[in-house]
Structure 1
Amino acid sequence: MNRKLIPAFALSALMAQPAGALDLGSMTDAERDDFGRAVRSYLMDNPEVLVEAINELEKKQNAQVAEGDQQMIAANEDDLLNDPNSWVGGNPDGDVTIVEFMDYRCGYCKKAYPEVNSLLKLDGNIRFIVKEFPILGDASVKAARFAIATKQVAGDAAYEKVHDALMRLRGDITDESLSALAKQLDLDGEAIQKATNSSGVEAVIEANYKLAQRMGLSGTPSFVIGDEMLRGYAPEEAMKQMVDDQRG
């Protein structure tokens, strides 16, 4: 491929300056115009150079984002991994931990739900933590309060049943539907409903909001997988790859 050369005056200027220190301000207007035309001509004749530069920029930006995510995860590690108010599923002794920030009315959370469950079962060595992050309105908050109250009133096994049922629920979330759900699962719906407005439940939701804010999260689902962040839905295979990457 024919590669046009940058004019001699531009090459001389580049060689006379330290790397990255070309001073266009020292050129005359005519020299700057010539330099600009030469650069444009070069890029038009060799567009792959621009593509390479864009790809390199994206790599650097992605690396910066990943480094920032790792720093946020490390700074909030205890709240992410050791919060006694968060339900732990999968393998509690797993070598990789997935933390999900979710909303029971989030369509993509519901889409991710069977794929996350499939990954947990097929892998068998993943610790899974749920963080209620109700951001889609009053019904989302109502569902989150009910799930958290279930854990506090009836324990982890009851929470898991309620969590699974709410993730599969396609109808409206109301006091009536939640009472019916508790009855279906043979739980004390009255005691759970009474606890939904307790200070203990409020404290869990508030802590999750604050943690999400510190992590820079504004949508659901959002995942922390080891020391990586996944913002939004990804298919099971992509999550599996992230888990495998954590294991080196």
Structure 2
Amino acid sequence: MSRKSYPSYLLGALLLSAACLASLALALEHLGAAKLFGCGLESGCARALKSPFAYFLAWPTAFFGLSFFAGLLAAWLTMRARFPSSMLWLVRAGAVGSLLLAAEMFRGGYLCPYCFTVHATNLAFWVLIERRPSADSRALPVFACLFVLISASLWFVEGLAEQRRLADEEKELESLAQPQSSENLREDERFEGRYLQGPENAAIRLVVFTDYQCESCRKVDRELAHLLAVRSDLSLSTKHFPLSSDCNDKVRRLGVNTHPNACSAARAAEAGGLLGGDAGFQRMHDWLFKRGGAFSQGELKAALPSLGFEADTFLQAMQAPQTEAFVQKDIAEALALGLHGTPMIFINGREFRSWSRPGAVKTAVETVAAAELSADFRPPSAYEKFLTDWRIQAPHSLPPPGRDEQRVASSGVEVVLWGDYLEPNTRILDKRLRQALQGVNGASYSYRYFPLETTCNEKLSRTLHPGACLAARAAEAAYRAGGQEALEAMHAFLMESSGRPTRGEIEAKALGLGLGDRFRTYLDSVEVARALQRDIENARAMTVRSIPLLFIAGKLVPRWKLEDASVPEAILAEALSSR
């Protein structure tokens, strides 16, 4: 290879490596082996993985992309960037695929950063290779061999993941068939919605919290409609949880507006019910799902006569205070039940989590029917659900803190928190954990670093808290300069500081702790930087999606923040009592 062509060779390798890594991240998310940072509830990443374009010829698109880019990278490196015309056409075909998928991603409004990385690097590689002469015919066999090898490996791993999912679903079905505690029996207060499909005294009662712009909700609704058509012992009630900041304070606090028309759609369904009872609600419900919850005022007004409504009367009902009150009541109830995403399905008062598999709801209904259980049960509260979500987690063998070379075995309950010193929820949770652990024997607390700043956490898409890396380095430098006592003092200072501590304030605190020049030496040292990087990489290995990330007794605490409830404290007490 000539010196002149080396920069292009290196650039091509970097582009293909980036595409491989992004595809690998999406493949791991699909397998359930990782929870990508920034891919939470109804994020662009989550919606992309649920879209029809998430599969290509019944094969996950992420798997295809990983095999494709890994094959290209191997051929590029092995053949020293000498590609024949056959490979050039393969790259062109891949570029066309990226253009189509990127266009659909923008059209659908789900901007997935990992998908964007794949498509951007793929298109950039295509531009690069078009500018280079082709030569070596051996590149195609190298590509084909690696493509087949990786595809076969992914097929095997997908089989193992499928077995795990089936085992989890089987366990959930078994729990659905178990009698409930009499504490949840409410014969005088049925858990159902305002409008009902099916017989009033059905032996099996389904309640679904939905969002008319949620694609998964639409798929589940089609499955439920089929079940209602073939079973006479089944009823269905629909409640609302629109993922729109227009009417949902929970979504508004997150600073997103995932489904902009979902609130209007929920009010339209309620207006249909107010004017036409069960049948009116159902007609509007079906119309909304057929349109994916999206409509303009003109489109709605034009459709109303065919749906059996007088337009002006309907539009007035849609804006009535009672309609909004019903939607707000459903949102409050969903949050009180610990809703984490839509759809949320209850069968005879028990949540069914494994609804995403085709036919899973049908199997669950048949299981409950065979068990002949009472339908007069209410689901547990959000508090109990949060505790249950922790209980059912598989225990992890957590890595040691980044500063340690070896893990020190502990016979007590380990509480491990990954966080950012400047992130408000991290500060709240850290304070509560330290208070809960005061004077407690048999438990240990370990704080790990995950600063939300690209200066030291380079894989983040953007910086959320400038100065977070400095704060984390300060805590680690205090430990190295003065031991555990100095670390605890610096940790408390950083957590309790108002705003963002400056370097001068941090150094003044260190001086007050008697750390002096040793602290300043460590603050910018390679050892401290490496400790931070180990904590950051360990958090990613533990499938971090958001900060703070809490583990108690080796189990992830999926959710801990609940008004007027002490969820982490209750989990800690339960973990201690079960030792």
Q: TM-score scaled by structure 1?
A: 0.68
Q: 1:131 aligns with which of 448, 462, 466?
A: 448
Which residue is equivalent to 1:201?
528
Aligned partners of 1:220 and 1:231 also within 8 Å: no
Q: CA deviation at 1:43?
A: 4.2
Residues 128, 52 of structure 1: alpha-carbon distance in 2 compared, 3 angstrom cutoff: same
Aligned partners of 2:422 and 2:500 also within 8 Å: no
Which residue is equivalent to 1:220?
547
Which residue is equivalent to 2:430?
113
User: Hey, which of these two has a bigger chunk of helix by percent?
Assistant: 1
Residues 43, 244 of structure 1: alpha-carbon distance in 2 compared, 3 angstrom cutoff: same
The CA deviation string for residues 4-36 of structure 1, in whole angstroms up to 9 with x for no partner, is 8xxxxxxxxxxxxxxxxxxxxxxxxxxxxx966
SS for the counterpart of 1:123 is coil
Which residue is equivalent to 2:65?
none
Equivalent pairs counted in the alignment come to 209
Aligned partners of 2:401 and 2:535 also within 8 Å: no
Residues 170, 215 of structure 1: alpha-carbon distance in 2 compared, 3 angstrom cutoff: same
Which residues of 2 match residues 8-19 of structure 1 at below 5 A?
A: none
Aligned partners of 1:96 and 1:225 also within 8 Å: yes
Which residue is equivalent to 2:573?
244
The CA deviation string for residues 98-151 of structure 1, in whole angstroms up to 9 with x for no partner, is 011121101011112331122101533311111111114440000101110111
Mapped to 2, the partners of 1:35 and 1:155 lie a distance apart of 65
SS for the counterpart of 1:70 is coil
Which residues of 2 match residues 162-241 of structure 1 at below 5 A?
A: 162-188=490-516, 190-231=517-558, 233-234=560-561, 237-241=566-570
Mapped to 2, the partners of 1:35 and 1:143 lie a distance apart of 56
Which residue identity is paired with 1:227? G
Mapped to 1, the partners of 2:416 and 2:534 lie a distance apart of 15
Q: 1:84 aligns with which of 401, 404, 422?
A: 404
Mapped to 1, the partners of 2:525 and 2:443 lie a distance apart of 32
Residues 158, 133 of structure 1: alpha-carbon distance in 2 compared, 3 angstrom cutoff: same
Q: 1:52 aligns with which of 343, 347, 353?
A: 347
Structure 1 stretch displaced more, 35-44 or 163-172: 35-44
Residues 210, 217 of structure 1: alpha-carbon distance in 2 compared, 3 angstrom cutoff: same
Residues 152, 170 of structure 1: alpha-carbon distance in 2 compared, 3 angstrom cutoff: same
Mapped to 1, the partners of 2:535 and 2:351 lie a distance apart of 36
Q: CA deviation at 1:56?
A: 4.1
Residues 35, 57 of structure 1: alpha-carbon distance in 2 compared, 3 angstrom cutoff: closer
Q: CA deviation at 1:195?
A: 1.5
Mapped to 2, the partners of 1:175 and 1:35 lie a distance apart of 64
Which residue identity is paired with 2:418? F
Which residue identity is paired with 2:568? M
Once the two structures are aligned, what percentage of the paired residues are identical?
Answer: 18
Mapped to 2, the partners of 1:172 and 1:41 lie a distance apart of 62
Which residue identity is paired with 2:533? E
Q: Which runs of 5+ in 2 are unaligned?
A: 1-198, 203-224, 239-344, 357-384, 453-463
Mapped to 2, the partners of 1:215 and 1:57 lie a distance apart of 26
Structure 1 stretch displaced more, 155-164 or 178-187: 178-187
Q: CA deviation at 1:47?
A: 4.4
Aligned partners of 2:481 and 2:518 also within 8 Å: yes
Aligned partners of 2:402 and 2:533 also within 8 Å: no
Which residue identity is paired with 1:177? E
Mapped to 1, the partners of 2:490 and 2:227 lie a distance apart of 65
Q: CA deviation at 1:59?
A: 7.6
Aligned partners of 2:420 and 2:450 also within 8 Å: yes
Q: Which runs of 5+ in 1 are unaligned?
A: 5-33
Residues 39, 224 of structure 1: alpha-carbon distance in 2 compared, 3 angstrom cutoff: same
Aligned partners of 1:103 and 1:109 also within 8 Å: yes
Q: 1:157 aligns with which of 471, 485, 496?
A: 485
Aligned partners of 2:402 and 2:534 also within 8 Å: no
Aligned partners of 2:228 and 2:234 also within 8 Å: no
Mapped to 2, the partners of 1:83 and 1:182 lie a distance apart of 19
Residues 35, 177 of structure 1: alpha-carbon distance in 2 compared, 3 angstrom cutoff: closer
Residues 143, 2 of structure 1: alpha-carbon distance in 2 compared, 3 angstrom cutoff: closer
Aligned partners of 2:346 and 2:352 also within 8 Å: no
Residues 60, 238 of structure 1: alpha-carbon distance in 2 compared, 3 angstrom cutoff: farther
Which residue identity is paired with 1:115? R
Residues 145, 68 of structure 1: alpha-carbon distance in 2 compared, 3 angstrom cutoff: farther
Mapped to 1, the partners of 2:350 and 2:477 lie a distance apart of 48
SS for the counterpart of 2:353 is helix
SS for the counterpart of 1:218 is coil
Q: CA deviation at 1:225?
A: 0.3
Which residue is equivalent to 2:394?
70
Structure 1 stretch displaced more, 110-119 or 200-209: 110-119
Q: TM-score scaled by structure 2?
A: 0.31
Aligned partners of 1:147 and 1:162 also within 8 Å: yes
Aligned partners of 2:560 and 2:567 also within 8 Å: no
User: RCO higher in 1 or 2 (8 Å CA, sep ≥ 6)?
Assistant: 1
Aligned partners of 2:433 and 2:569 also within 8 Å: no
Mapped to 2, the partners of 1:66 and 1:242 lie a distance apart of 8
Mapped to 1, the partners of 2:237 and 2:519 lie a distance apart of 64
Aligned partners of 1:134 and 1:144 also within 8 Å: yes
Which residue identity is paired with 2:416? V
Mapped to 2, the partners of 1:35 and 1:68 lie a distance apart of 31
SS for the counterpart of 2:521 is helix
Aligned partners of 2:479 and 2:486 also within 8 Å: yes
Q: CA deviation at 1:192?
A: 1.4
Which residue identity is paired with 1:237? S
Aligned partners of 2:414 and 2:554 also within 8 Å: no
